[in-house]
Structure 1
Amino acid sequence: MGIDRDQSRAGDLAELFTRAPFEDAGWDKALKALASETGSSRAQLLALGDRNTAFNWVTDSDQTFIDEFVSIGGYRPDVNYRVAATRPPLELSWEAHYAAARAVSTNESYLDYVRRHDAEFGVQMVLSQRPRVLFGIAALHGTRDGPTTEAQREVFARIGPTVLDAIRLQDSIEHQGAALLQGSLEAMSSAAILLDAVGKVCGMTGAARDLLGPRTLQVRARVLRAARQDVDLALQTQIGAALAGTRTGPADLWLHADEGPVLLDVRTLPRQDWTFGFAPRVIVTLRAPITPANVPPQRLADALKLTMAEAEVVMLLAQGHSRQIIAGMRNVSVQTVVAQLRTIFQKCGVNREAELVATAGSVIEMVSR
């Protein structure tokens, strides 16, 4: 009778995971059932990229638990002994493996984190591992739960392949949605590039594709890179911030294409609770070069209440010229241009060149109609 009951409960648990991709809160229900069956306070499903957490869901936890994991770099093996203790896909790791990892290197910030949240023990399994992303599932035990037992680990081992199949279904569903979105992108005239949760290109418009080239932007191994090293460093930093959801500032990254300067804007896309990293997470838009050459400076001066000299500086800045080049074109010192810009910033109510160019561009667009 006991064996029949165990088999029935295992079947119910497997059924919950099989239905999870197709039901509202299906994954949460399945993970809570797994926690119950393994004597755990919480169950966790996560996807780790090489520079961020692509997806992290922990049952019965508040947002602080998730946010702290990101802030301390919990996806890194030198920080998180659970990551350091990972084994090949579908093989278990538990307290014995955690102890071995901690004997090699112990990160006090992570230890403090799991102890404060009562999640120091448990069992885990890597479900699949591919370049730049790892999917795993874990049961988190605290002092009240005690270390995992052999019977609890056996439940975990049996359910692993079923969870992997469910993730593959979720993967398929998300890729279908991404494919539909790519079809919509093709109809857009603006230049936009979509990145998934691990920063890989998963779609772009034709206008963006036309801007790719050896001197501008390139896609290598599905990673968006800028040709110039300094611009690429800034671009990767902004992409990393957008993946973490902390990219909130104005567009301020300039790319110099043959047609003129292009302004790159990196933004986080709205995120759904249950996407495993395949759905688009970041959008990079490329604003067409500003060409105000045919607009009389007087019209810009009138609109922004600038002197003619100040308006001419703004026009040259909007055309993509540096302060040094503007000084040479106007036969003045760079210090004079800097002083003029300080006055212009104050008059226009802005703090940065990118904001000034955006303001000037809006005026230029209106007076050009």
Structure 2
Amino acid sequence: MPGNREFRSDAEVVGSLFARAPFEKEGWNTALQALRDVTGSSRAQLLALGSRFQAFNWATDTPPEYEAEFIAAGGLRADVNYRVGATRAPMELTWEAHYDQVRQNGTDEAYLDHVRKYDAEFGAQIVLSQRPGMFFGLAVLHGPAEGRTTETQRAILETVAPEVLAAIRMQDAIEHQGIALLRGSLEAFHSPAILLDALGKVCDATESARNLLGPGTLQIREGVLRAPRPDLDRLLQGRIVAALAGQGEGAADLWLRSETGLLLVDVRTLPRQEWSFGFAPRVIVTLRAPLGPAQAQARTIGSALGLTLAEGEVVALLAHGHSRQQVATLRGVSVQTVISQLRTIFQKCGVNREAELVALARAVMEMGPR
């Protein structure tokens, strides 16, 4: 391995950028660009495959359609992509000498067109981690202008690889910590919620949500949230797919009826991090059993706020996150009736807005019996 000062300095700078990558907004992109520059490459690439997270292929300076073109060209297949065919054990460097051996057996022209289009016919790569359910790889890509990689360029890639793997593990820990923090916040508000990752798999659930799961409501099978009937399950999966695509913004309207009463299932998209490995939750599924908790708490709310039992039920339902329309549907009355009741409730409670009323009710619910 080269021992000159410039080599060590370049490797240290790039390694430190990868170490900071999980903590900075554009950290991964910045680190990859630095790796590209110090290795004299056209691009640097970090990719992942596996069942534990969302597969991705991040290459610097590529258009949005790059990843789709890579897959369409057969980039994931060992019989098409000579880089995949030449892959070695984790932390063992692979470069043009190994690519040449694979290419002697034949070269796929469609894949060659793809790599030439993106100045990526040559280069070097290293598998960072490979075990059941996950694969991470790092590469530098060269085109005709850059030529084949040099020993120094390959040494830099090999030197920074352990730093990159450590950063990936840190990102994993941070994203899982985010899950724990989010679940803790939901537990504090007694919110029955289930968190799904970027693949739509269940990554966590609050205790109150697990208490609502069962044959008549929802079940978790092989990591997938399922509804009891095929027609309801199709609706549920459709909402999950939409939420994963960032379209989980519609009104909650998926109702399940079980022996214990009605259950409203609400599927929402969580804020997305631009640079995420897919460990972090992407979708939240909240479960609302309005009649049971609301009826149980209506008397407490009514007693505390000087309301009738019917008024207490209206307030309890609102405090559980239901809209006025949903309150009307659950109580079997018109929306106008609910609005009329709220005018009286506002006056009795000395508030002017629904948000104030809900905050007051939740404070009572928090202090009252559960």
Q: Return the TM-score normalized by structure 1.
A: 0.64
After TM superposition, the structure 1 = structure 2 runs for residues 95-114 of structure 1, keeping only pairs within 5 Å, are 95=96, 96-97=98-99, 100=102, 106=108, 108=110, 113-114=114-115
For 2:80 and 2:241, how far apart are their aligned partners in 1? 20
Shift of 1:279: 1.6
One-letter code aligned to 2:10: R
Indicate the percent of aligned positions where both proteins have the same amino acid.
55
Shift of 1:282: 1.9
Aligned residues: 301
- Residue aligned with 1:57, SS: strand
Q: Which residue is 1:118 aligned to?
A: 119
Q: Which residue is 1:45 aligned to?
A: 46
Shift of 1:91: 2.6
Q: For the structure 1 residues 113 and 201, does the alpha-carbon distance in structure 2 shift closer, same or farther, using more than 3 Å as the test?
A: same
After TM superposition, the structure 1 = structure 2 runs for residues 1-369 of structure 1, keeping only pairs within 5 Å, are 3-50=4-51, 53-66=54-67, 68=69, 72=72, 76-77=76-77, 81=81, 82=83, 86-95=87-96, 96-97=98-99, 100=102, 106=108, 108=110, 113-220=114-221, 222-227=223-228, 235=236, 239=240, 242-243=243-244, 245=246, 255=256, 257-260=258-261, 262=263, 264-288=265-289, 361=326, 364=329, 366=335, 367=337
Q: Which residue is 1:308 aligned to?
A: none
One-letter code aligned to 1:100: V
- Residue aligned with 2:170, SS: helix
Q: Which residue is 1:349 aligned to?
A: none
- Residue aligned with 2:4, SS: helix
- Residue aligned with 1:63, SS: coil
Q: For the structure 1 residues 57 and 361, does the alpha-carbon distance in structure 2 shift closer, same or farther, using more than 3 Å as the test?
A: same
Shift of 1:184: 0.5
Q: Which residue is 2:314 aligned to?
A: none
- Are the aligned partners of 1:32 and 1:42 in contact in 2 as well (CA < 8 Å)? yes
For 2:85 and 2:250, how far apart are their aligned partners in 1? 35
For 2:53 and 2:36, how far apart are their aligned partners in 1? 25
Q: Which residue is 1:325 aligned to?
A: none
- Are the aligned partners of 2:175 and 2:280 in contact in 1 as well (CA < 8 Å)? yes
Stretch moving more, 94-103 or 110-119? 94-103
Shift of 1:166: 1.9
* 1:174-220 superposed Cα distances (whole Å, 9 cap, x missing partner): 33232211110113344321122343323323442122124543335
For 1:253 and 1:83, how far apart are their aligned partners in 2? 44
In structure 1, list runs of 5 or more residues that go unmatched.
Answer: 292-357
- Are the aligned partners of 1:34 and 1:43 in contact in 2 as well (CA < 8 Å)? yes
Q: Which residue is 2:356 aligned to?
A: none
Shift of 1:161: 0.9
- Are the aligned partners of 1:14 and 1:159 in contact in 2 as well (CA < 8 Å)? yes
- Residue aligned with 1:34, SS: helix
For 1:268 and 1:141, how far apart are their aligned partners in 2? 38
* 1:18-67 superposed Cα distances (whole Å, 9 cap, x missing partner): 23334453332221121122221111223334497445433223333356
Q: For the structure 1 residues 246 and 23, does the alpha-carbon distance in structure 2 shift closer, same or farther, using more than 3 Å as the test?
A: closer
Q: For the structure 1 residues 2 and 158, does the alpha-carbon distance in structure 2 shift closer, same or farther, using more than 3 Å as the test?
A: closer
Q: For the structure 1 residues 359 and 183, does the alpha-carbon distance in structure 2 shift closer, same or farther, using more than 3 Å as the test?
A: closer
Q: Which residue is 1:298 aligned to?
A: none
For 1:221 and 1:180, how far apart are their aligned partners in 2? 24
Q: For the structure 1 residues 117 and 287, does the alpha-carbon distance in structure 2 shift closer, same or farther, using more than 3 Å as the test?
A: farther
In structure 2, list runs of 5 or more residues that go unmatched.
Answer: 293-322, 342-370
One-letter code aligned to 1:134: F
Q: Which residue is 2:318 aligned to?
A: none
Shift of 1:122: 3.0
For 2:94 and 2:226, how far apart are their aligned partners in 1? 37
C-alpha RMSD over aligned residues? 4.2
- Residue aligned with 2:194, SS: strand
Shift of 1:74: 7.3
For 1:107 and 1:16, how far apart are their aligned partners in 2? 37
Shift of 1:137: 1.9
- Are the aligned partners of 2:80 and 2:107 in contact in 1 as well (CA < 8 Å)? no
Shift of 1:101: 8.4
For 2:290 and 2:74, how far apart are their aligned partners in 1? 41
For 1:86 and 1:234, how far apart are their aligned partners in 2? 42
Q: Which residue is 1:312 aligned to?
A: none
For 1:8 and 1:265, how far apart are their aligned partners in 2? 52
Q: For the structure 1 residues 172 and 58, does the alpha-carbon distance in structure 2 shift closer, same or farther, using more than 3 Å as the test?
A: same
Stretch moving more, 172-181 or 112-121? 112-121
For 1:247 and 1:84, how far apart are their aligned partners in 2? 40
